[in-house]
Amino acid sequence: MNNFKTALVWLAGISLLIQVAVAALPFDWFSDDKMPTLAPMLDQSKPAVVNIATRSNVRIQDNPLLDDPFFRRFFNIPEQQPRHRTKQSLGSGVIFDAKQGLVLTNNHVIHRADEITVSLTDGRSFQAEVIGSDPATDVALIKIPAEQLTALPLADSDKLRVGDFVVAIGNPFGLGQTVTSGIVSALGRSGLGIEGYENFIQTDASINPGNSGGALVNLRGELVGINTAIFSPGQKSGNIGIGFAIPSNMVKQITEQLIEYGEVRRAHLGVQMQDISPELANAFNLKAEHGAVVTRVLQDSAADKAGLQVGDVITAIDGDKLLSADSLRNTIGLLLVGQTIELDILREGKVKTLKAIVKETKKQIAQGAVHPKLAGATFGDLEQSSPYYGKLDGVVVYSVKRESPAWNAGLRTNDIITSANKLPIKTLDDFKPLAHNGKQLLLNLTRNGRAMFLLLR
Catalytic residues: 108, 138, 212
SS3 411: coil
H or E element, residue 105 = strand 102-105
Backbone phi and psi for residue 367, each to the nearest 5 degrees, phi listed first: -160, 180
State the Cα–Cα distance between residues 416 and 380, nearest whole angstrom.
Answer: 10
Cβ atoms of 274 and 290 closer than 8 Å: no
Closest CA to 316 of 353, 279, 360: 353
Residue type at 309 in one-letter notation: Q
State the Cα–Cα distance between residues 152 and 155, nearest whole angstrom.
Answer: 9
SS3 123: coil
Neighbour tally for 117: CB within 10 Å: 17
Closest CA to 77 of 89, 65, 88: 65
CA-CA-CA-CA dihedral for 256, 258, 261, 265, to nearest 10: 90
Partner residues linked to 57 by β-bridges:
86
State the Cα–Cα distance between residues 275 and 144, nearest whole angstrom.
Answer: 43
